[in-house]
Structure 1
Amino acid sequence: MSASEIASSTLQSHVAGNPYPGRGLVIGKSADGSKWQQVYWIMGRSPNSRNRQFSLDGTTLSTEPYDPSKVEDPSLIIYEAMLELPNQFLVSNGDQTRTLCDGLAAGKTAKEALSVRDREPDAPNYTPRITGQLDLTGDSAEIGLSILKANKIDPTYSDRHYYYPQEPAAGIGYGLTTYMGDGNPLPTFNVDPLLLPIAATPEETLDLYWNALDEDNRISLAVKEIALDGSSSRVVLRNKYV
């Protein structure tokens, strides 16, 4: 099976055929190979989680309440999801995006920057913190992925997984989600980064994933298109509640 066939199959099994993969991110190349793309989506089961939408300030993507009067606990649902430094493009499912951004700006590695963070404190789910980095500062592009999740023996500790996969072919991205599916507690993502498809344009990629995500649980989706040399970027997004 080719990489593109694996990616399409995984989209169907892990996203389209899964009522709750949770929050997810993908970093890869457009189908024509002319751009990079970053994908990020949020889902929700509880009223507090569903009371969200994406907002955009330049190329900074953030979550914000859809109805501020109904916010129960903003600590894990309001954050900057996409941030940029020169030729560095960051995406995550929590406020560790800011931790990573500030750490890189101070000269730290991604591992050093994220060493001060742990899985989310939302027992019994202990939602993983998933983070992606597209680094275009060197002679070749580098994708870095991180997942911080509860230790299987003692969830008060966090296991730290870092991945630096080979640059993908056109139309292929590497992805992480927070969960394997629905459940109580929610089953933590427990496999290597997924191969997932990337369409030719961010608008097409947005439609691809929006249509794949569970209609009841999907909340917001964004796709950032990035020039191969990192010189420019733009974001398209869709919110369930408009």
Structure 2
Amino acid sequence: MFEYLAANEYPGRGIILGKSEDGRAVFAYFIMGRSINSRNRIFEVCKDDIKTKAFDESLLSDPSLIIYSPVRVFGKNTIVSNGDQTDTIYEYLNEQKTFEDALYTRTFEPDAPNFTPRISGLIDIENGLRLKLSILKSDNGNESQSLRFFYNYDNPKCGEGFFIHTYKENGDPLKSFEGEPKKVNLKGNIDKLTESLWNSLNTDNKISLAVRYIDISTGKYDQVIKNKLEGM
């Protein structure tokens, strides 16, 4: 995974879900950007949730699509996504509806000509560990058609994860991720995984990274946040 990321200067935003070697649920979420508006962001922790925030409010030109909650916790469910569909999923779970129900009300982002995919994940520790990933994308840039893909992983192996990201590679326009989520190894503790991921992301384009290891029986977690602008 780290070599794969290091060879791709712009995978966009990415979600990894899985299980650590010591049996905890894992998520990692990173954001990248090419414009000043996009790069002017940090992750901010709000209790169990995470929000994106403008680092310098004077440079914020358009908050749509870049200011949102990538992580929210609902009971024993942790929601991770690359947009405000996090809130949609949260609201649907609160109404005793499903992850899939929520995402059938959404589509890819309206940022022509890229039509950035909406990627979403769910960690459910109600009974053991169940993981869900989804990508909603255009049909090769055709905005009249939405392609919806859902992936379910019950009781993943220790040290195994699944990785999905928004863009295939850098370009203009940006092409959407293709294929199934990539199976990846999740070796080592949270600090090792965080550092390896952070160091694999392109130095110019990376913005923020959040990694969380969640105890499946108690819901307690360890978390590490990396913000490029706070480290400068």
Give the Cα–Cα distance (whole angstroms) in 2 for the partners of residues 90 and 56 of structure 1. 14
Structure 2 partner of 1:43: 32
Match of residue 2 from structure 2? 11
What is the alpha-carbon distance in structure 2 between the residues aligned to residue 167 and residue 123 of structure 1? 38
For residues 141 and 205 of structure 2, the distance between their equivalents in structure 1, rounded to whole angstroms, comes to: 30
Shift of residue 166 of structure 1?
4.2
Alpha-carbon separation, structure 2, partners of 1:66 and 1:25: 22
For residues 108-163 of structure 1, give each alpha carbon's deviation from its aligned partner in whole angstroms, at most 9, with x where no partner exists. 1111111111100000000000000011123x321110101012373233111101
Q: Name the residue aligned to 1:143.
A: 131
> Who is 1:20 aligned against?
10
2:179 is matched with: 191
Q: Secondary structure at the match of 1:40?
A: strand
What TM-score do the two structures reach when normalised by structure 1? 0.91
What's the Cα RMSD here?
1.4
Q: Aligned partners of 1:17 and 1:197: how far apart in 2?
A: 17
- The answer to whether structure 1 residue 73 and structure 2 residue 73 are counterparts is no
Residue 4 of structure 1: aligned partner: none
Q: Residue 60 of structure 1 aligns with which residue?
A: 49
**What letter matches 2:37 in structure 1?**
N
- Which structure 1 segments of 5+ residues have no match? 1-9
SS at match of 1:204: helix
Contact 2:21–2:159 under 8 Å retained in 1:
yes
CA distance in 2 between counterparts of 1:119 and 1:178 reads 10
CA contact (8 A) 1:59 1:234 kept: no
> 1:136·1:229 contact (CA, 8 Å) conserved in 2?
yes
The answer to whether structure 1 residue 128 and structure 2 residue 117 are counterparts is yes
Give 3-state SS (helix, strand or coil) of 1:231's partner.
coil
**Pairs aligned (count):** 230
C-alpha contact (below 8 Å) 2:114/2:141 kept by paired residues: no
Where do residues 170-185 of structure 1 align in structure 2 (5 Å cutoff)?
170-185=158-173
